Chain A
Amino acid sequence: MAGLELLSDQGFRIDGRRVHELRKIQCRLGVFSQADGSAYIEQGNTKVLAAIRGSKQKTLHDKVLVNCQYSMATFSTGERKRRPRGDRKSQEMTMHLRQTFDAAILTNLYPRSQIDIFVEVLQSDGGNYCASVNAATLALIDAGIPLKDYVCACSASFVNDSPIVDINYLEESSGKPEIIVATLPKSEQIVFLEMNSRLHEDNLSKVVDTAVKGCKDVYQILDTAVRDHVSQVATVHGWEN
C-alpha cells in the first residue's frame, strides 16, 4: 500500500482514530448453552467467538491440560479462505493461545483433567490474536475457571515516530513494526509478547508501553461487561440480595 498515509499530519489514522484510541469493543458472555463457557467479542470489524469445554484425561496427574483450537471461518477474510484450520498460521496461533492460557489459568487446581478452548474467528480485520485472547478470557470467566487475572491482549505499531495502539488490518499489512502483548493487567505482568518486522530498540519501550496501556483499557471494558453479565444473571435467578 505504497503512498497510503497511515497517520495524517493532524494526528488521525486512516479510520479516523487518534493514536491512542482503541477500536470499538462490544462483547457478550454466555452465548451458547451447550458449552461450559462461551463469549463473543467484536473489536472493530474483528469478530471472534470462543467456547470452553472441560473433560477428564489421564496424561497429566498434577495439573490441567490446556488444549486450544483456533480456526478462521472461510468467510472471515476478503477472499475466500481455503483451509479454515490446520494451516501454519492457525497452528502457530493455537500454540500461542495455549501458552498464554497455560500461564494464566491456575492449572494445579484441576489435576487429571483437560480444558478445551475453541476459538473461531468469524470476521478478521487485524488483531486476531488479541481478540481471540480477550474472547477466551471472557469464556473462561463464564465457565467459572479460576484465573490469576484477566488476560488482556492488545497490539501496537510505530508510525511516523509515534506509537499507535490496536492496529487494524490495513495498518498491519503496511509493513510497519507490530508488537502484540498479552498482560495480566492488575500485576502488569506480561504473559505473551510478539514482534513482527523491525523496530529500533530506542523505540521499543515506547511501543510496549502503549500496548500495555491498551491492555489496561481493554481490561476496563471487559471487566464492565463481566459485571453487567453477572448482575443480569443474578437478576434472572433472583439473587440480588
Chain B
Amino acid sequence: MSSGEEPLEKGNRHVRLKNVNGKHISVVREVYRRDDIPCQSLLCLANCPNEKDDVGLLPADITHYVIPDCQVARDYLEIFETPEITGIIFLQTVAHSILTDCSNKTINVFVLTLKEYLDTFWKLAVLGLMELYDSITASLETKIKSKGYLGYLPTEVLEAGLKSGQFIQGFINVNKSNAAEEAFVKRKRRDPKDNEGSDILIHGKSSRNRAIHGDLVVVELLPRSEWRGRSLVIKEEKQEKEDAEENDDTEEMEESSNVMPTGQVVGIVQRQWREYVATFSQNEDAGSGKVLVIPWDFRIPKIRISTRQVNTLKDQRIVVKIDSWDVDSQYPNGHFVKSLGPIGDLETEICALLVENSILLTSFSEAQELPVDTSEHPWEIEASELTKRRDLRDTHLIFSIDPKGCEDVDDTLSVRYLDNGNIELGVHIADVTHFVKPGSLTDQEAKIRSTTVYLADRRYDMLPSILSANLCSLISGVDRYAVSVIWELDSCYEVVDIAQAMFDGISVTKIVENVPELKEIPQNKLSYKVEELRSFVSLLMEIARHLKAKRIQGGALELESVEVQVQLTETKSIADLTPKDHLEIHDTIAECMIFANHWVAKKIAEVFPNNALLRHHPLPKEEQFANLLSCAAARGFTINITTNKDLADSLDKCVIPGDPEVNKLLRSLATMAMSNASYFSTGNLSRTEFFHYGLALDLYTHFTSPIRRYADVLVHRQLMAAIGYTGSSGLPGNVELDELAEHINYKHRWTGGTITKTDQSVIVCSMFGSQMYSLLDHVTVRISLNDSWAHSASTRIDIVSNQPFISSIQQEDTHKQQKANMIKEVSAAAVERRILTSSYELGVNFEQIKAEYGQTSSNQSFYCLFESFKESAICS
C-alpha cells in the first residue's frame, strides 16, 4: 500500500506446514486481495485495461471459463494440458500451491467436481479424457503394502554428510545389460585433483533404494570389505527378466573384475522422472485394476499403473508417468497418460523413440510473434538494418555447399582475391538472433528444444519453420541477414592481420550457389558450374587443406565414424542402406567452420572472460584406452596415448597393407575412448581446461549452426555484444550460462557415455575368454532383427563364416562392397554380440566426431536405422 493509493483488502491465510523435524506447525500468512488485475478476457464488460502481454488473452469463442482449485490443478494438471480445453484461469494462489505443494481451498462461483465438469462439457468432444481421469484417480488411491525399502535420510543429514565427504552426490546410471543388479553413480562435478574419482557401484535393488536411472542421488560408501567388482557375465535377457526378483540373495559371487567402490543410496536429491514408453506384458490377463507395465527402456523398473482398459491397450505402446515410489512398494506407482498406437506401427515406434529421448514433438505455440513472408506480404529487408550492416550482395560471391533437399542452410562461404594479392575468406552464418530476441517466446521454446532433431524421413525443428526453412535459411537467390567472419589471408594462407581478422560485417546474402548434386560426382560435376565458382571452390579446398595440415601438426586427431544414410521409398519402407560418402569438400566445409568457430571463441573469450560460452573436450581418461590398446596389440601395433599428437601419429602407423578396415576400426575404438565434448561457461573452469583435445585447439565454440543448435544462438548474442553491435545487458551471467550449458549438454547427450564404457570392457574379456576368434579378423555376419515385445528392438549378429565377405561380382558392384564394409564395422563395435545375443543400440559409439562437426542433431540415425529394419521386417 503506497500512500495515495486505495488500500488493499488484507486477509490471512492459515497454513499447516510440516517442519524439518516432522512436527506440524501452523503458519499464518497474510494475503492482499487486489482489484486492479485486468481480466484478460476478450469478452470483458468492465473495460479492463487488457493488454496482450506475456500472459495472453482468454479466447472469445467459448461458452465458459474454468477456474480449477488447488487440489484439482495439482492432481489433474495433465487434463488441463489437453489442447482442446481452452479458457482456463489459473489463480495465483493455485499456481503457488502447485509450486509449494500445500493444499488450500478457494471459493469458486460454480462448484463442480472435476468429474462432473468433464462429464458435462468434454465427454463427447475429447475421447480418452475420461480414461485419463480414471487412471489418475485410481493411481491416487493406490496404496499397496509389499517389500520394504529403507527410508531416505532427512535433507539436512544429507547436506552435512556431503559437506564432510561422508556421502557422495552423483547421477545414477543403470547398467543396461544387467539392469536388475548393477548401477553406477557418476560423481557430480569431479574435482580434478581427486584421485578416488572412479564411479561407484550400486549392487542390488535394495542398495539402489528406489533410485531410477538418471536421478541425482546421494550415496554412502560401504566398508571396503563389502566392495565388489562389476559382473562380467552377460546374462540372458529373458531369463534375467523373470527371475530378477528371486535371485537377489541366492546368487553366488560371480566372476568379477577388480573390486571397485561400492555404495548404497541413502537419499535422492532430485528425481529425473519423465514420461516413459511402456507396454503391457504379453500374458497379462484381462482383469482390471493394477497392472504392471514394462518400460521400453531396460533401465527403468516395471511400473504399476491402474487402468480398466487393459484389453484395448494391450497391443499398444503407451506413455506412463511415475507418480511415487513408496518405501513399502516393490515397484513404483504410475499412471497412464496416453496411447501412442499399435506396436510395430512406424508412427508409433517413432513417437516412442521421441518420448524416450524427451524430444518435444508438440507443434509451436501460436502466441509467438513471428515475421510473415507470404505472397501478399513478402518479407523485406528493413532499410534501418541496411544502414547498420555491411552490404555484401554486390561485392561478394557467396555460396553454400549442402546436400540436395536441405532446407535449413545456415552456413555459407565466400572467398576472393584482394587488390594487394591477399585472399579474403569469409564465413557467413545465418543471423538468427535478429529474429529471436532474448527472452521472447521463440527464444524460450528454442531453449527447451535446444536442437533440431533429424530422423530419416522427417525432422523436428528447434525454430518455427518460417524461420528455420525460410527467413533465417540462406537460400539461393534471396536477400538474407547474416553474421560474417572475414579473414584476410596472405599467399601462404596465414592470417595476415589478426586485428582485422575478427572483423564483422553483417552481410545480406544475395547469391547462394547451391552445389546440390555434389555427393554424387564431386569434381566433375563442378565443371558445368560457373568457372568462377569452380576456381573459388578449389581455392577454398586449398585453404582448408592448409588449415587442416596445421591443425594436425598441432596434434588433432582424425577419428573414424560411420554414417549410414537410409533411403526410403514413398511408402516409408527402407529402400536401401548406403554409407555416407566422405568427400573432400565435406572436409573443406568442416575445416572452414572449425576455423570460424575457433576465431569466434577467441573473440568472445577475450571480451567476456567470465561468461563466454565455449566448448571443450577434456583429456580422455587413460583406462578408457585399454580396449584400443589390447585390440591394437592383437595385431602387433603399439599405441602411444601420452598426448593427442602421439595418439594421432601412432594411429597413422597402424596400417595393414591391403586392409584399410583395420585402421578404420582402430580409429573407431579411439573415438569411443574419448570423453564427451561439452559446453561450459568460461567463469567455471580454469584457463588450462579450455582446450579442445580432439581438434587440438586452445579455444573452441559452436557458432556456425544457429538454426539447429541453441548454443550457437547464445554464442551469436555474445559475439554481437563483443563487437559492440548490441549492448551486453541481456547476456546471461556465469551462473545462468552454466545452467544453460548443462541443459544443452543434456539435450545433446541422449546416448549415455558410461554405458558404452562398461560394454567395452566386456568385449575384451569375452574375446580372450573364448579364444575362438582373434581380434580384427574379417568375418561375415548376418544382421537380423531380434524382436522384443516390450523393449526396443535389438539386432542380432550371427557369424555366417569366418571368411571375409567378398561379393562375387566385386568389380561391378562396389556398392554392395561398401555395404559389407559397413556391416563389418558395425559388428566390430559390438563384437561380443557374435557370441551372446543382447540388446545393444549400435548408434551409441559413433557420434563423437559428428558432434564435433556440427551434425549433432542427426544423432538418432542408428536408432532410426534399426527401427526401420524392424519396420521393413514387418512390412515384408
Interface residues of A (CB under 8 A from B): 1, 3-5, 8-10, 12, 14-17, 20-25, 44-45, 78-79, 125, 168, 170, 217, 220-221
Contacts of B33 in A (CB 8 A): 16
Determine if B55 and A10 form an interchain contact, defined as CB atoms under 8 angstroms apart: yes
Q: Does the CB pair A24–B99 fall under 8 Å?
A: no
The 7 closest A-B pairs by CB, nearest first: A16-B32, A220-B3, A24-B10, A45-B30, A15-B31, A78-B25, A217-B3
Contact of A21 among B1, B26, B100 (CB under 8 A): B1
Is there contact, CB below 8 Å, between B100 and A3?
Answer: yes
CB contacts (< 8 Å) of A5 on chain B: these are 95-96, 99
Nearest CB in chain B: distance from A26 CB, A:
10
Nearest residue, chain B, Cβ from A165: B2
The reply to whether B10 and A8 form a contact with Cβ atoms under 8 Å apart is no
Question: Within the complex, what minimum Cβ distance (angstroms) separates B680 from chain A?
Answer: 22
| A127: min CB distance to chain B, Å | 12
| Nearest B-chain residue to A125, judged by Cβ | B30
Asked if A170 and B25 sit within 8 Å, CB to CB, the answer is no
| Residues of chain A within 8 A of B31, CB atoms compared | 15-16
A56, chain B: closest CB distance, angstroms: 40
Q: Chain A residues with Cβ under 8 A from B99's Cβ? A: 3-5
| Contact A221:B30 (CB < 8 A) given known A3-B99, A16-B92, A24-B8 | no
B7 contacts partner chain A, Cβ-Cβ < 8 Å: yes
Q: How large is the interface on B (under 10, 10 to 19, 20 to 34, 35 or more residues)?
A: 20 to 34
Chain A residues touching B, majority SS = loop
Instruction: Decide: B2 and A22 in contact? CB cutoff 8 A.
Output: yes
- Given the complex, which residues of B lie within 8 Å of A45, measured CB to CB? 12, 28-30
The answer to whether A168 touches B2 (Cβ under 8 A) is: no
Contact with A along B3-41 (1 / 0, CB 8 A): 100011010100000000000011111111110000000
A23 to B32 alpha-carbon distance, docked (Å): 9
Given contacts A5-B99, A24-B10, contact A78 B1 (CB under 8 A): no
Complex contacts, B55 vs chain A, CB 8 Å: 9-10
The smallest C-beta distance from A145 to any residue of chain B, in angstroms, reads 25
Residue of A nearest to B23 (CB): A79
B60-97 residues at the A interface, CB under 8 angstroms: 92, 95-96
Complex contacts, B30 vs chain A, CB 8 Å: 15, 23, 44-45, 125, 168
A79 to B24, CA, bound (A): 10
Residue of B nearest to A170 (CB): B29
Chain B, residues 608-636, CB within 8 Å of chain A (1/0): the string is 00000000000000000000000000000
Bound together, the chains give a CA A50 to CA B31 distance in angstroms of 26
Interchain CA distance A1-B15 in the complex, whole Å: 14
Contact A15 B29 (CB under 8 A): yes
For B259-270 the 0/1 string (1 means CB < 8 A from A) is: 000000000000
Contacts A3-B99, A5-B99, A45-B12 hold; do A23 and B1 have CB atoms under 8 A apart? yes
CA distance A170 to B28 in the complex (A): 11
Q: How far is the CB of B452 from chain A (nearest CB, A)?
A: 28
B27: chain A residues within 8 A (beta carbon): 78
B residues in contact with A12, CB < 8 Å: 34, 92
A16: nearest chain-B partner, CB-CB: B32
- Asked whether B29 lies within 8 Å of A24 as measured between CB atoms, the reply is no
Minimum distance in angstroms from B311 CB to a CB of chain A: 40
A134 to B431, CA, bound (A): 56
Using Cβ atoms and an 8 Å threshold, which residues of chain A touch B8?
16-17, 21, 24
A14 surroundings in chain B (CB, below 8 A):
29, 96
Given contacts A4-B100, A79-B25, 7 further A-B contacts (CB under 8 A): A4-B96, A5-B95, A10-B55, A14-B29, A14-B96, A16-B32, A23-B30
Task: Write the chain B residue with the least CB distance to A9.
Answer: B54
A-B pairs with beta carbons under 8 Å apart, 12 shown: A4-B100, A16-B32, A20-B2, A21-B8, A24-B10, A25-B1, A44-B30, A45-B12, A45-B29, A125-B28, A170-B29, A221-B3
B34 to chain A, nearest CB (A): 6
Interface membership of chain B positions 386-401, coded 1 if the CB is closer than 8 angstroms to chain A and 0 otherwise: 0000000000000000
Residues of the B chain whose Cβ atoms lie less than 8 Å from the Cβ of A24: 1, 7-8, 10, 32
Question: In the assembled complex, how far is the CB of residue B270 from the closest CB belonging to chain A, in whole angstroms?
Answer: 10
Task: With both chains docked as a complex, state the minimum distance between the C-beta of B842 and any C-beta of chain A, in angstroms.
Answer: 40
Closest to A218 in B: B3
**A170, B1: Cα distance in complex, Å:** 18
Q: With a CB–CB cut-off of 8 A, which chain A residues contact B54? A: 9
Q: Which residues of A contact B10 (CB under 8 A)?
A: 24, 44
Shortest Cβ distance from A8 into B: residue: B92
With A10-B55, A23-B1, A25-B1: A17-B32 Cβ-Cβ less than 8 Å:
yes
Give Cα A12 to B92, complex, Å.
9
CA distance A220 to B4 in the complex (A): 9
Interface core residue of B2, B27, B92 (most chain A CB under 10 Å): B2
Q: Which residues of A contact B26 (CB under 8 A)?
A: 78
Minimal beta-carbon separation of A149 from chain B (angstroms):
17
Measured between beta carbons, the chain B residues less than 8 angstroms from A220 are 3
Task: Please name all residues of chain B whose beta carbon is closer than 8 Å to the beta carbon of A15 when the two chains form the complex.
Answer: 29-32
Q: How far is A8 from B31 in the complex, measured between Cα atoms in Å?
A: 15
Alpha-carbon distance between A22 and B29 when the two chains are bound, in angstroms: 15
B450 CB to closest chain A CB (Å) equals 22
Contacts of B2 in A (CB 8 A): 20-22, 217
Q: Which residues of B contact A221 (CB under 8 A)?
A: 3
The answer for the CA separation of A8 and B54 in the assembled complex, in Å, is 12
- Please give, as numbers and ranges, the residues of chain A lying within 8 Å of B100 by CB-CB distance: 1, 3-4
Note all chain B residues with C-beta closer than 8 A to A23: 1, 30
In the complex, chain A residues whose CB is within 8 Å of the CB of B1: 21-25
Chain B residues with Cβ under 8 A from A22's Cβ?
Answer: 1-2
Interface centre among B3, B8, B54 (most CB of A within 10 A): B3
CB distance from A123 to the nearest CB of B (A): 9
| Cα distance, A14 to B99, chains bound together (Å) | 12
Q: Which of B91-115 contact A (CB under 8 A)?
A: 92, 95-96, 99-100
Are B34's CB and A16's CB within 8 A?
yes
Q: Given the complex of chains A and B, what is the CA–CA distance between A125 and B55 in angstroms?
A: 31
Cα–Cα distance between A115 and B32 once the two chains are bound (Å): 38
Bound Cα distance A10, B100 (Å): 18
Closest chain B residue to A1 by CB distance?
B100
B residues less than 8 Å from A217 (CB atoms)? 2-3
Minimum CB distance partner of B55 in chain A: A10
> Nearest chain-A residue to B33 (Cβ)?
A16
* A10 contacts across to B, CB distance below 8 A: 55, 92
Q: Which residues of B contact A20 (CB under 8 A)?
A: 2
Within the complex, the shortest CB–CB distance from B50 to chain A, in Å, comes to: 13
Tell me the complex Cα distance, A45–B14, Å.
12
B5: nearest residue on chain A (CB-CB)?
A: A21
Considering only CB atoms, which chain B residue lies closest to A12 in the complex? B92
CA A24 to CA B6, docked complex, whole Å = 11
Instruction: Report the Cα distance A221→B4, complex, angstroms.
Output: 10
**How many angstroms between the C-alpha atoms of A24 and B10 in the bound complex?**
8
The complex places the Cα of A220 from the Cα of B10 at a distance, in Å, of 20
Q: How far is the CB of B470 from chain A (nearest CB, A)?
A: 31
The distance in angstroms between the C-alpha atoms of A211 and B126, with both chains bound, is 53
Q: In the bound complex, how far is the Cα of B526 from the Cα of A168, in angstroms?
A: 72
Contacts of B3 in A (CB 8 A): 217, 220-221
Rounded to whole angstroms, the CA-CA distance of A30 and B181 in the bound complex is 75
A168: min CB distance to chain B, Å: 7
Q: Name the residue among A4, A16, A21, A79 with the largest chain B CB count within 10 angstroms.
A: A16
Expressed in whole angstroms, the minimum distance between the Cβ of A202 and any Cβ of chain B is 11
| Residue of chain B at shortest CB distance from A4 | B100
Q: For the complex, what is the distance from the CA of A78 to the CA of B25, rounded to whole Å? A: 7
Contacts of B34 in A (CB 8 A): 12, 16
Set of chain B residues within 8 Å of A17, measured between Cβ atoms: 8, 32
Q: Which residues from chain A contact B29 at a C-beta distance below 8 Å? A: 14-15, 45, 168, 170
